[in-house]
Chain A
Amino acid sequence: MKKMIALSIAALTLAFAVPQALSAADSAAIKKNMAERKPKIEALKKAGSIGENKSGYLEAMKDAKLEDADKKLIEDENKDRKDVYTDIAKEQSSAAGKTVTVEKVAETRAKQIRSRAKEGEYIQGEDGKWVKATKPAEKKDK
């Protein structure tokens, strides 16, 4: 009996410890949520309340006075981003046969975000300094 309990605990631990790949449904749900959040995020960026940090996540600016709903919005967005980065890291690790870290994926995304930032939005450079983007967003040919 004790052995059974121990095995069950081990199985549960493994199930939660190993990140599971996002299903197509999960991925679609995350995309939908991100699309819904985007107008509000854009407004906060335009107001200078939040910026895009060098790690691929949203971050509140020092003097920003954010409402609880805004804080929740940032948290939700960052959580979804992390799930996507984790999924891509996992996929690419198995494709490349070597470990691709979540941080590597997130930093690559941060570079993309910086290159596509709209004028006046806060972006954090690789050196950690926050600056306002000075050039218009790069349009993707897709």
Chain B
Amino acid sequence: MKSFLPLLAAAAVLLGFGASACIHTESEVDVKPIEIKPVHITLDINIRIEKALDDFFGDLDAL
């Protein structure tokens, strides 16, 4: 029993350090917004142009 007590105390101390370590490793992550809207718009326009061209020239190309 006597030998168990120091072990218990050591475990408690370690847990304490562990808990405090957890607190200290907490950090703020600076997440910046990713600007993807213009890419979407450009892709959308390209697709729309291709579709409009296909609508007009599709039959002619298939001749």
Contact = CB atoms under 8 A, between A and B. Distances in A.
A binds B: yes
Interface of A: 27, 31, 34-35, 38, 84, 88, 91-92, 95-96, 98, 100, 104-105, 108-109, 112, 116, 140, 142
Nearest to A95: B48
A100 to B, nearest CB: 6
A57 B45 CA distance: 21
Given A96-B41, A96-B44, A112 B53 contact: yes
A35 B59 CA distance: 9
B49 A88 contact: yes
Interface of A is mostly: helix
Given A98-B41, A100-B45, A140-B61, 10 more contacts: A31-B60, A84-B57, A88-B56, A92-B45, A96-B41, A96-B44, A105-B52, A108-B46, A112-B53, A142-B62
A108 B56 contact: no
B58 A35 contact: no
A83 to B, nearest CB: 11
Contacts of B58: 140, 142
A96 B56 contact: no
B59 A96 contact: no
Contact of B49 (A27, A34, A100, A116): A100
Contact of B60 (A35, A92, A100): A35
Given A38-B63, A142-B62, A105 B49 contact: yes
Contacts of B44: 96
Given A96-B41, A142-B54, A104 B60 contact: no
A4 to B, nearest CB: 41
Nearest to B45: A96
B51 to A, nearest CB: 10
Given A27-B56, A84-B56, A142-B54, A92 B61 contact: no
25 contacts: A27-B56, A35-B59, A35-B60, A38-B60, A84-B57, A88-B49, A88-B53, A88-B56, A91-B52, A92-B45, A92-B49, A92-B52, A95-B48, A96-B41, A96-B45, A98-B45, A100-B45, A105-B52, A108-B49, A108-B53, A112-B53, A112-B57, A116-B61, A140-B62, A142-B62
